[in-house]
Chains A and B, each alone.
Chain A
Amino acid sequence: MAVCIAVIAKENYPLYIRSTPTENELKFHYMVHTSLDVVDEKISAMGKALVDQRELYLGLLYPTEDYKVYGYVTNSKVKFVMVVDSSNTALRDNEIRSMFRKLHNSYTDVMCNPFYNPGDRIQSSPGGPYFLCPIQSRWALLPVSDPVQVGPTPVSDPVQVSPTPCVRSSPGPLITW
């Protein structure tokens, strides 16, 4: 179980960020933001390596006392950051990898949506943990946490990885214009 996942644009602004303990949201925002230091460093170190042999998964970015922060970078330099509770020993590298892969697939789905404008903030739909769909609003103006815009957020953990992959439907119907 991840406590926070974030999708960060190439220019390092957040496209999507969601944490489970909503009361301390700011802390996770800071944690994700500071982890970009390590992501940047890893990407610049990777730049020298061959492009096609590049590993997208960046591994553990840095450990804090209570959380572990993992990173992943797509070929278009969009970053995924996941914060995991340190005490959660069930999540090993392989699980983290597969979670990132699922997240990447969802992100690809969002990008395939012809109504999504790359660079706009992404809004998670109530349908499931990894269904991300674009919000219509302009990128800067709406806080992700604004419940009016988000719609009914699931009370259950929205970033929990379900062991069976969710039935993936077209993101089209989820858009609310």
Chain B
Amino acid sequence: MSPTQWDLPVELCCRPMAFVTLTGLDVVYNAVHRAVWDAFCANRRADRVPISFKVLPGDHEYPKCRPKRTSYEWYIPKGILKTGWMNKHLNLVPALVVVFYELDWDEPQWKEKQSECATRVEIVRQSLQGRNTKVAVVLIQKKTPLPPGEDVIASERAAALCNACELSGKSLFVLPHTDHLVGYIIRLENAFYEHAQTYYYTEIRRVKSHKEFLNKTTHQLLFVRHQFKIAFFSELKQDTQNALKNYRTAYNLVHELRAHETNILEIKTMAGFINYKICRLCFQHNTPLDAIAQFRKHIDLCKKKIGSAELSFEHAAWMSKQFQAFGDLFDEAIKLGLTAIQTQNPGFYYQQAAYYAQERKQLAKSLCNHEASIMYPNPDPLETQTGVLDFYGQRSWRQGILSFDLSDPEKEKVGVLAIQLKERNVAHSEIIITLLSNAVAQFKKYKCPRMKSHLMVQMGEEYYYAKDYTKALKLLDYVMCDYRSEGWWTLLTSILTTALKCSYLMAQLKDYITYSLELLGRASTLKDDQKSRIEKNLINVLMNESPDPEPDCDIFAVKTAQKLWADRISLAGSNIFTIGVQDFVPFVQCKAKFHAPSFHVDVPVEFDIYLKADCPHPIRFSKLCVSFNNQEYNQFCVIEEASKANEVLENPTQGKMCLVPGKTRKLLFKFVAKTEDVGKKIEITSVDLALGNETGRCVVLNWQGGGGDAASSQEALQAARSFKRRPKLPDNEVHWDSIIIQASTMIISRVPNISVHLRHEPPALTNEMYCLVVTVQSHEKTQIRDVKLTAGLKPGQDANLTQKTHVTLHGTELCDESYPALLTDIPVGDLHPGEQLEKMLYVRCGTVGSRMFLVYVSYLINITAEEKEIVCKCHKDETVTIETVFPFDVAVKFVSTKFEHLERVYADIPFLLMTDLLSASPWALTVVSSELQLAPSMTTVDQLESQVDNVVLQTGESASECFCLRCPSLGNVEGGVATGHYIISWKRTSAMENIPVIRTVITLPHVIVENIPLHVNADLPSFGRVRESLPVKYHLQNKTDFVQDVEISVEPSDAFMFSGLKQIRLRILPGTEQEMLYNFYPLMAGYQQLPSLNINLLRFPNFTNQLLRRFIPTSIFVKVKLKNFLLFKFKVLKTNRLLFHVHFTEQYFETNSDSFAFYSMYLAVLLFISIKLLFIESNFKDLYFLR
């Protein structure tokens, strides 16, 4: 863009730098000079001194200096600041003129050269007549100079040269043209810089010196001008602090000026310049708050200084520029490291600039609406002789006139007209949009999304005014969703209205329809008359006709648009527009709801589609189709009306295809699910509602899932929160809010109509073949096919259970590890209605504990649903938890032959092994047999035949066995000697014949074997008779490898007399046996203590009588002397705790037995047995001995 009247001049905006001209350099033809120049101006980095250099010819004419005024008395200034002044001091009047001259100290023609140089200096001085500009001479030398003071000729000649040129020594420099050129140049320019600063210092002094001649009445303008000049020179001097101070003073002075309509523009222009300088310096000094404060002050002071009402757009333009310039300064400062915040960033200034630009546009629109016949005035009052103004901010047709009265009102009128006509050609929208987009960029940076959206709306609207509808639509469409998602419907409606206008004017069908749909919807805040106009237009569009123009549109644009719409009609063919509604709020709402969260496969799936229109007039739709995740169902859920295009408005309130505003329309759909979908979810993926006709134009509203648009989730939330009672509605009408979308349903299998019963006798016993009888009965009306049974351990339990549970259909053989835990899909066959079948399963559980068993019966059945034959697969399952227990407990103990408990057994001496089998089963058990498998270290004393064959045990009963064993001496074995195994074969008493017997093996405990030195056993009858001889033989066996010295004594007893050795000492050889014979003679009847045998082993003092008594009887039963006597032999079959069932197996009598005494005794014994007296227990041991 070319600079306009309102743009700040370049010389104001640049950073002022000392101006130094270089003369005598031939940069075109002389390579050395070129290099010197390049070193000065190329790659100037920030650390170089701020000088702007210019190469000029030696005879360059500098601007003439006006003669010095001696008195200000009669001087009246014509304006504040001349337009050329800043440029003059930046680019025309140098602070220093440098004369470059090639001259070596040893120059042979020194004299001539010296005078030539002096001439050049003189010429420069001539053209600077009257100015304080400094002159310096630089000698370009080929040789490297010697250190100062060493070269005598040099110093002499230098002094001479200075003299000739009338230069001070400080102004003569030598530039050796050597390798270190840049270094020399930097030193040179530092020296130049010092000279320049001195120059500007004197200039400041010079301007200040004028001050005292000024008076407040006539020279007010000069106060400002001088102050500005001082500040500007300070800036050139790089004294920014003083510059700022002076600018501030100047700013205050500007506002002290007497303002009038004629000079207000000049005052504002200067105030703007000075304000710009102040803000710029404040940012430069890193005091942004000062800058902002100054700017605010500036705006507050100037806001009301509108000036001429006819040209008020100029004020707006100026204000806009002020804000824009400040925004630019702010932004530049940020780029240099300043941090801005959300509430204070350049965006606000650009926004405000845009605001004033909009105001300018408005004002221009109202002030510059001249008729086309009014011609631009000729001659052009805005033209000046020089093409530029003399003073900033003055009117071209009355420059330099300070009077507040308009000397020539006619001229003034023409001038104003010229300005107004020019303003008409300004591309306002372009300016506004540029400013707005600047602001958008800033607000984006400072996290203001809503501000950004707002500005984008303004940009869109501005594009609309500028008739760039494509861009307008793009912007508006972009921000619409922000307002929609936050629910600011007023704002959304306003944006949509503009967007609708754009789409109308471009005849963009799809956009037009989309915006209409939303403007008719519930999010729109339009009045009903507007809505009904839009609805009418929409219907027109759907019927392939042109809509009426939108209100407030440009007339010419409407004409173009009408032509476009007409073209669209002629092009009309199949115009189908599919519009996804999830991103906006259309005027038709849709909700889909399945009747149930799940349906059985033999029942038709039913769901409702609810539709509601929010537009003012009823509307008819042409088609509704529902899509599912399984597309095969789509065909069943279509409603279509074969209506002609012109019927859209006929019979509006009738038929299900018509939506009445505010009324909820319910449409029922049903279909039969496929059997493959059993266990799957059926989901509504979309609902499509077609408005209009395919022969004209057709809009398909597409709801994803079961309905709902951009606003409905929030509405649903509000409705859920609400506890308002809804008024009662007539039947088959529902409240829209109370409908909850249910877009998916499950298809589940048909309810089985069979019964499954399980018959069994829990608990299961470990390792047995547990029988489970499954009974399946069909209650179906028709035959069921392909009945399959899956039975066994329910999956998902402990993995160990799977390994220890085995299922089989054949109970006749024991199952082993190879059998599975679950039998699957056992075909059973078909079942007629009412038929029943039974299947036996055998389960073997290896461990105790509870298990869940599953019995799953599946079958196929043909049924008819909605006149369709389908094959349904039904299944029924039963689970049962079965506890597994041990069938019995086995206890084993070792006892001596006297039935005394043994902790250890003695080598080679018989002992008894007693087993005790206690039934733990609630059901009767049959012990088929038992077996004792002895370890090799054990030997038996008699046969090991089982004593419990075919014994039936009820719960809590036990069966005992007793085996007499002997353990040969083995020496000392760690941990005892293995005894062997006890094997029990058993089954349930109730089990069938063919059920195999279960063998349970029990490992018998180890026993500790101990050696004894001497074993004594006695040979004596089982009883004695009073006064009958009782021979007793003691056998003493030496079990050691030594000769044993034995002391034996028999102690006398009252009950006995005896014969035999009463006391003896004898020796028993290793492994031999000594017999001692005694003849006892009982004196008393009953239980009598035998005379005790005391044995003393001299070698084994530990061998005590206590130990001895374990082996030999200590007492005997002495009977009364009878002629006849009897003997019993008992066999113990089983025991139950303390009571003994004693079974007579054999009895026999000795001698003749007719006497009454015998009979009475016999009967008494029988009686004893039958009443199971405890007495027998105590005698049991004795009885056993009788065997």
Contact = CB atoms under 8 A, between A and B. Distances in A.
A13 to B, nearest CB: 3
A133 to B, nearest CB: 15
Given A26-B494, A117-B722, A117-B723, A37 B448 contact: yes
Contact of B450 (A13, A33, A143, A146): A33
A36 interface: yes
Contact of B451 (A34, A117, A118, A139): A34
Interface string B520-533: 00110101000000
A7 B523 CA distance: 19
A14 interface: yes
Contacts of A139: 714-715, 718
Contacts of B348: 62, 64
Given A29-B488, A65-B355, A145-B490, A36 B450 contact: yes
Given A26-B494, A115-B724, A37 B355 contact: no
Given A139-B718, A140-B522, A140-B711, A62 B487 contact: no
A41 B343 CA distance: 10
Contacts of B448: 34, 37-38
A120 B724 CA distance: 12
Contacts of B714: 11, 13, 139-140
B1022 interface: no
Given A33-B450, A37-B447, A140 B721 contact: no
> Which of B447, B457, B488, B714 counts the most chain A CB atoms within 10 A?
B488
A138 B718 contact: yes
A117 B718 contact: yes
Contacts of B450: 33-34, 36-37
Interface string A38-75: 10010000000000000000000110110000000000
A11 B711 CA distance: 13
Contacts of A146: 525, 527
Contacts of A117: 718, 721-724
A13 B487 contact: yes
Chain B binding surface, main DSSP class: helix
B716 to A, nearest CB: 11
Interface string A119-147: 11000000000000000001111011110
B898 interface: no
Given A33-B450, A34-B448, A65-B352, A12 B718 contact: no
A141 B522 contact: yes
A25 B488 CA distance: 13
Contacts of A141: 522, 614
Contacts of A17: 490
B718 A33 contact: no
Nearest to B715: A140
Contacts of B614: 141
Nearest to B344: A62
Contacts of B721: 117-119
A33 B447 contact: no
B628 interface: no
A37 B342 contact: yes
Interface string B714-749: 110110011110000000000001000000000000
Contacts of A38: 342-343, 448
B486 interface: yes
Given A34-B448, A34-B451, A26 B490 contact: yes
B451 A37 contact: yes
A119 B488 contact: no
Interface residues of B, number: 36
A62 B489 CA distance: 24
B491 A30 contact: yes
B488 A62 contact: no
Contact of A140 (B454, B483, B489, B724): B489
A118 B724 CA distance: 12
A38 B714 CA distance: 24
B829 interface: no
B355 A33 contact: no
Contact of B454 (A12, A33, A41, A138): A33
B525 A143 contact: yes
A119 B721 CA distance: 9
B1070 interface: no
B449 interface: yes
Given A36-B450, A119-B721, A143 B489 contact: yes
Contacts of A118: 721
B491 A37 contact: no
Interface string B686-728: 0000000000000000000000000100110110011110000
Interface in B144-172: none
Contacts of A13: 486-488, 714
A117 B449 CA distance: 30
Contacts of B342: 37-38, 41
Contacts of B723: 117
A26 B491 contact: yes
A22 B490 CA distance: 13
Contacts of B525: 143, 145-146
> Which of A17, A64, A143 counts the most chain B CB atoms within 10 A?
A143
Contact of B715 (A61, A62, A138): A138
A37 B450 CA distance: 6
Contacts of A62: 343, 348
Nearest to B482: A33
Contacts of A37: 342, 447-451
Contacts of B489: 140, 143
Contacts of B451: 34, 37
Contacts of B522: 138, 140-141
A37 B449 CA distance: 7
A164 B450 CA distance: 37
Contact of B486 (A11, A115, A119, A143): A11
A140 B488 CA distance: 9
Contacts of B494: 26
A11 B523 CA distance: 16
A144 B525 CA distance: 9
A37 B714 CA distance: 22
> Which of B348, B355, B450, B723 counts the most chain A CB atoms within 10 A?
B450
A37 B342 CA distance: 9
A75 B722 CA distance: 22
Given A30-B454, A140-B522, A14 B488 contact: yes
Contacts of A115: 724
A11 B487 contact: yes
A150 to B, nearest CB: 13
Interface string B433-469: 0000000000000011111001001000000000000
Nearest to B527: A146
A120 B714 CA distance: 11
Interface in B475-493: 483, 486-491
A36 B488 CA distance: 12
B774 to A, nearest CB: 59
Interface string B279-294: 0000000000000000
Interface in B336-381: 342-343, 348, 352, 355
B491 A29 contact: yes
13 contacts: A11-B714, A13-B486, A26-B491, A33-B483, A33-B486, A34-B450, A62-B348, A118-B721, A119-B717, A138-B718, A139-B718, A143-B489, A143-B490
Interface of B: 299, 342-343, 348, 352, 355, 447-451, 454, 457, 483, 486-491, 494, 522-523, 525, 527, 614, 711, 714-715, 717-718, 721-724, 737
- Give the 10 A-B residue pairs with the shortest CB-CB distance, closest first: A13-B487, A143-B525, A37-B448, A34-B451, A117-B722, A62-B343, A34-B450, A141-B522, A37-B450, A12-B486
Given A29-B491, A117-B724, 7 more contacts: A33-B454, A33-B483, A38-B448, A41-B447, A62-B348, A120-B718, A143-B490
Interface of A: 11-14, 17, 25-26, 29-30, 33-34, 36-38, 41, 61-62, 64-65, 115, 117-120, 138-141, 143-146
